[in-house]
Amino acid sequence: MNAITQAPQRCPLDQATGRDFPRWWHRAAQLVDLPLGQRDLDVTGAGLAQLLKRLQALDTPRRALLLTMACLANPQRAAWLQTEVGLHVGQLTATDLGAEVFQVLVGLLATFHPAPSN
């Protein structure tokens, strides 16, 4: 049998999409000192000012993690937010982020299941 006829291997996280996301969000919130129950990150008005202030207070790995969380919570504003902060998470490597932050970041991205659009 060759690669064309074989079924693709599945990552164990494939079955966890959506289900484990709250657990990864909780771990990420701990790393960036967000209130643990906070699931919405507002990127408008006063919420934006608070988010930008918190982003500036963090080191680069945690800033990347919080930026990713904000982009997942507000996908329509993701490009603008990354430009405003001057950081694009896709440019960072595991070495830049450190093992703990990288693991949580990958867990968030692997289990994220966007809400259906109307």
Higher pLDDT, 50 or 118: 50
* Residue ranges in 37-86 assigned as alpha helix (H): 45-57, 60-73, 78-85
Higher pLDDT, 114 or 79: 79
Classify residue 90: in a domain, yes or no. Answer: yes
Half-sphere exposure of 10 (CA within 13 A, CB side): 7
DSSP letter at 24 equals H
Classify residue 88: in a domain, yes or no. Answer: yes
* Model pTM score: 0.73
Classify residue 116: in a domain, yes or no. Answer: no
Classify residue 27: in a domain, yes or no. Answer: yes
Q: Which domain holds residue 73?
A: 16-111
Give me the mean pLDDT over the 6-22 stretch. Answer: 57
Classify residue 53: in a domain, yes or no. Answer: yes
Higher pLDDT, 7 or 96: 96
Q: Tell me, what's the pLDDT at 8? A: 47
Is-contact 4 102, C-beta < 8 A? no
Neighbours of 60 (CB within 10 A): 13
Residue 87 to residues 29, 63, 68, 79, Cα–Cα distance (Å): 19, 9, 10, 10
Domain count, the chain: 1
Give me the mean pLDDT over the 11-17 stretch. Answer: 50
Classify residue 9: in a domain, yes or no. Answer: no
Q: Determine the angle formed by the axes of helices 78-85 and 45-57, rounding to 10 degrees.
A: 50
Give me the mean pLDDT over the 43-71 stretch. Answer: 85
